[in-house]
Amino acid sequence: MIHYPGSLVFVAFGGSVLSDVLYDKVRAVELRDGAVHLLDQRVLPGTIRYEVCTTARAVAEAITAMVVRGAPAIGVTAAYGAVLAVKAAYEKAPNRWRREAAADLALLRLSRPTAVNLAWALDVMERVMAEGGEENPLERVEAAARRLHADDIAANRRMGAYGAALLPPKARVLTHCNTGALATGGFGTALGVVRSAAADRGIAMVYADETRPWLQGARLTAWELIEEGLPVTLLADSAAAALLRTGTIQAVLVGADRIAANGDTANKIGTYGLAVLARHHGVPFYVVAPLSTIDRHCPDGLSIPIEERSPQELLQCQGISHSPATAKAWNPVFDVTPASLIDALITEGGVVERPSTRTIEKLFAAKKR
């Protein structure tokens, strides 16, 4: 079932309710002065530092190194990386700039394999690159990347409004990883729902899983919420079951890095277990993600590539070893939550209850009308 709550137009676009600055101060990526500026999320919250990338290769390396993370933010960053690739290619070979840019675009595609928004954003940019003749393409390519960024923020605001309508006033919610402005072009997906709810009917508390091993919940989600004066309580990942058992949580809100055609969802490792716990305790489990995260060419969760990273990320914490030197570690970055455990998929196109191949296709059909 797809529905579009009637009260949402006012919440999302009512002017004074969600202003450009209210609960929306953080930006992870920006294109200015001929470079891509990335807020280095590896060193937050202790250090505010920007990585300045002047080449597409540097952008690809920053994505791989997790200077920027979160599927929508990676997509925006890749689009800006494509701008740098086109600029360098045209300056080097104005008569064959498309061919010259191809290697940089391939590097960008390989920087993170699971986040489908990356490939989607580069597909958009390559379609723009294919338009027109051999004249200087930089202006239209840069305009396309900036439009993609602005569209992501607008989509997040719509998702936030849809999701907020599903929550009771002054709700207590549990979230995993970081799904806020740091993980997107701005405003956020699951945290966008929190921002919208806070501006509309209030949020009593956001409980944030620490999210091992990169501690995105502890370092990033908690920082974002505190920066904007929203209530947050941090908990160890293993404490989620005990919290849900108290009966005080009204919803679990998570994001997604890739959603298969049948609704199976890949997200930060630990999400699947949280979905099982939520179902056992009768708590609604909501996935909040833009339509660009849905991979309609991927039939189910078994077909989603799951990135594995260095064992050292698990054996150490911020460079300090806490495990025996000869210990092995299994470090998948994502897991897959079956669609059967997802109560609703919240997108900018509407809310899909009990997502499936049929209901997701209906969502895209409705978008075309």
Rounded to an integer, what distance in angstroms lies between the CA atom of residue 284 and that of residue 342? 8
Quick one: which of 16, 106, 29, 32 has its CA closest to 75?
29
- 2 assigned to some structural domain: no
Give the number of other CB atoms < 10 A from CB of residue 139.
9
Question: Do 324 and 224 reside in the same domain of the chain?
Answer: yes
SS3 165: coil
**Residue 102: alpha-carbon gap to chain centroid:** 26
Q: What is the pTM of this model?
A: 0.87
pLDDT at 12 over 70: no
| 257 part of the active site | yes
Residue 134 has what pLDDT?
66
Rounded to an integer, what distance in angstroms lies between the CA atom of residue 120 and that of residue 366? 20
- 322 assigned to some structural domain: yes
Question: Do 233 and 125 reside in the same domain of the chain?
Answer: no
SS3 260: strand
Q: Which residues pair with 232 in a beta bridge?
A: 206
Q: What percent of the chain has pLDDT over 70?
A: 93
191-215 residue pLDDT tens:
999 999 999 999 999 999 999 999 9
Name 102's Cβ contacts closer than 8 Å, sequence gap at least 6: none
Question: Do 196 and 49 reside in the same domain of the chain?
Answer: no
Give the number of other CB atoms < 10 A from CB of residue 168.
11
Rounded to an integer, what distance in angstroms lies between the CA atom of residue 13 and that of residue 299? 35
CATH number at residue 77: 1.20.120.420
Question: Do 32 and 43 reside in the same domain of the chain?
Answer: yes
- 231 assigned to some structural domain: yes
Handedness of CA 135, 140, 142, 144 (dihedral sign): negative
Q: Where are the alpha helices (DSSP H) in the chain?
A: 8-13, 56-64, 71-92, 97-109, 116-130, 138-164, 190-200, 216, 222-227, 240-245, 271-280, 312-315, 357-368
- 22 assigned to some structural domain: no
131-162 residue pLDDT tens:
877 678 999 999 999 999 999 999 999 999 99
- Give me the domain span that covers residue 34: 27-153
Q: Which of 104, 257, 295, 343 is catalytic?
A: 257
- 343 assigned to some structural domain: yes
Domain boundary among 102, 121, 153: 153
Q: In Å, what is the CA distance from 271 to each residue of 14, 87, 241, 338?
A: 33, 39, 12, 11
Question: Do 252 and 110 reside in the same domain of the chain?
Answer: no
